[in-house]
Amino acid sequence: MAEDRQRSDNERTPDFATRLIHFGSEIDRTTGAASFPIYQTSTFHHFDLEHPPVHDYTRSGNPTRQALEDYIATLEGGARGFAFASGMAAISAACFLLSAGDHLICTEDVYGGTYRLLTTILSRMNIETTFVDMTDLEQVKAALRPNTKAVFLETPSNPTLKITDIRAVAGWAKENGLLTMLDNTFMTPYHQRPIELGIDIVLHSATKFLGGHSDVLAGLAVAATDELGVRLKQIQNGLGNVLGVQDSWLLIRGMKTLQARMEAHERSARTLASWLAAHPEIARVYYPGLSDHPGREIQEAQSRGYGAVVSFDVGSGERARRLLGRVKLPLVAVSLGAVESILSYPAMMSHAAMPPEVRAERGITDGLLRYSVGLEAVDDLIADLEQALR
């Protein structure tokens, strides 16, 4: 019986918090260093031409970047991971799995950079995109064409935090032989693991919550299968849009504290969202943790939390600009997911690439602000917003 108990303990899958620290490359096997080394090299010596080294040129592979790529694959539960120079580089690489003449179905209120890629670059390559409200599966189904090859999801969406039923869309896509890609930046693998829900490729702007400290620009992709991994590797190597080794190391360091940060971020975000929802000066609040947020039940079924991004509408562009000029604690800046709070103005920042009429159709008004709640004391964040609103 003691042997059975020992075997059971040995077979136990470690919790997420443990896997963040013990991910396979946490110790350098050569020296025992507690931090994986930065292999600051562009090329590698071939000691034996008949048996080439694992790595031969850093664009094609580097031990530091490989440690990061294995790390994110482990966290997302995928077959292979890939690190890119930015989140948009990762999304672009995934979209390059498509060919001229193909058609893509995409979340309508997607990140502005993704919208720009699809409408101004891939469109020139004869790759078409139909944007739909993915909270309605029937609209997704109605967008299917004979040349449709893929579906791109973002949930919660940016910046209005609409919730898509990942399992339902992924299941329908598989029935129709479609590739599925999902931007998991807001949730991270701590909150949401799309591959377990049927998604083929998970994407991250790792600049955000995964890095967490506003000091690294990076993108990550995880393929659910080895076959997809081979195809993504070919694109990564061919385009050369890889993440540098210094940034790979910074990202590994940042990811180790992901769970602790996300839990603290979310606690404050829920408090802030509730306060905003009760404030008479706020026209509307978007946050999946609010009881009246559309799709909350779906969010709870497919994620372990609600995240740290709260969007709210102050009623007009004039009032939004006035508030942005008065806040004292959050950065007024592009980006999100950092230890410091960041207040963004989507109409002029993250979604400036969208024409005004397109933003209006998607609910991205001139009065909409997006608050990425940091690790400051939430009472101080609320007091700061209160004085700014006054």
Q: Give the alpha-carbon dihedral of 370, 375, 379, 383, to 10 degrees.
A: -50
How much is the pLDDT for 4? 47
d(CA 234, CA 57): 14
Note the Cα 243 to chain centre separation in Å. 16
CB 8, CB 219: distance < 8 Å: no
d(CA 305, CA 324): 28
Nearest Cα to Cα of residue 368 among 297, 308, 289, 286: 286
CB 286, CB 277: distance < 8 Å: no
Note the Cα 34 to chain centre separation in Å. 28
Residue with tokens 């159709």: 361
Measured CA to CA in angstroms, residue 37 lies from 4, 214, 371 at distances of 38, 22, 35
Tell me the pLDDT tens digit for each residue of 22-73.
999 988 888 999 999 999 999 999 998 888 888 999 999 999 999 999 999 9
DSSP three-state, residue 114 = helix
How much is the pLDDT for 11? 72
DSSP 108: T
How many other C-beta atoms are found inside a 10 Å radius of the C-beta of residue 272?
22
Catalytic residues, by residue number, are 59, 111, 183, 208
d(CA 320, CA 341): 17
Quickly list DSSP for 318-341: HHHHHHHHH--SSEESS---SSS-
Residues of the chain with CATH 3.90.1150.10: 258-389
DSSP 40: -
Nearest Cα to Cα of residue 93 among 236, 237, 206, 222: 236
Q: Which residues are 385's β-sheet partners?
A: none
Tell me the pLDDT tens digit for each residue of 291-340.
999 999 999 999 999 999 999 999 999 999 999 999 999 999 999 999 99
How much is the pLDDT for 344? 95
d(CA 271, CA 283): 18
Measured CA to CA in angstroms, residue 303 lies from 199, 231, 298, 340, 375 at distances of 14, 29, 8, 24, 21
How much is the pLDDT for 358? 79
Instruction: Record the tokens describing residue 388, joined without a space.
Output: 């700014």
CA angle 219/161/190 to nearest 5° reads 50
How do the pLDDT tens digits run along the chain, 390 residues long? 444 444 445 678 899 999 999 999 988 888 999 999 999 999 999 998 888 888 999 999 999 999 999 999 999 999 999 999 999 999 999 999 999 999 999 999 899 899 999 999 999 999 999 999 999 999 999 999 999 999 999 999 999 999 999 999 999 999 999 999 999 999 999 999 999 999 999 999 999 999 999 999 999 999 999 999 999 999 999 999 999 999 999 999 999 999 999 999 999 999 999 999 999 999 999 999 999 999 999 999 999 999 999 999 999 999 999 999 999 999 999 999 999 999 999 988 878 777 888 788 888 889 999 999 999 999 999 999 999 998
How much is the pLDDT for 9? 53
Nearest Cα to Cα of residue 65 among 40, 87, 29: 40
Residues of the chain with CATH 3.40.640.10: 11-255
Q: Does domain 11-255 have CATH number 3.40.640.10?
A: yes
Which positions ≥6 away from 370 have C-beta within 8 Å? 158, 159, 309, 310, 311, 336, 343, 344, 345, 346, 350
Give exposure, 15-48, as e/b (b: 16+ Cβ within 10 Å): eeeebbeebebbeeeeeeeeebebbeeeebeeee
Which positions ≥6 away from 183 have C-beta within 8 Å? 91, 110, 111, 114, 152, 153, 154, 203, 204, 205
Q: Does domain 258-389 have CATH number 3.90.1150.10?
A: yes
Helices 317-326 and 378-389, interaxial angle, to 10°?
130
How much is the pLDDT for 14? 92
Total count of residues recorded for the chain: 390
